[in-house]
Amino acid sequence: MKFQPDRAEGVNVITRHEPGRVWVGTVCFEGSVIVPWKGDPVPWSAGGPDALNEASFSALLEFQPELVIFGSGNRIRFPSPSWLRGLIQARVGLETMDTAAACRTYNVLASERRCVVAALMLQA
């Protein structure tokens, strides 16, 4: 699915998503990825849905977000509440949705200059 968002100066924009891949600007990422509103996107060592744990989500605090959009793959898979302890203690919100919806939601929030991070699980 190709996205045609309004261009937002100085923030990352997810320009395309397809099974197993996501483009941030013109750079293609394969595998799970963290997309902060500013700065460089980085591979997310979360692995697959069965490999998620508290450290997977606590690593997102490095980006100092006010909100995390968790794209859980082809379908919605809610993380265990115990994995969110670090985010909760830091008063960071988390929304879970399938990855395609997470990409769209991230773009809207980033274009509004919100301190948002997309944590995207990509499946082929």
DSSP 66-98: SEEEEE-SSS--PPPGGGGHHHHHTT-EEEEE-
pLDDT attached to residue 6:
45
Fold of 14-120: Hypothetical Protein Mth938; Chain: A, (3.40.1230)
One pLDDT digit (tens) per residue for the chain, 124 residues: 555 544 566 899 999 999 889 999 999 999 899 999 999 999 998 766 778 899 999 999 999 999 999 999 999 999 999 999 999 999 999 999 999 999 999 999 999 999 999 999 997 6
DSSP 48-65: SGGG--HHHHHGGGGG--
* pTM over cut 0.85: yes
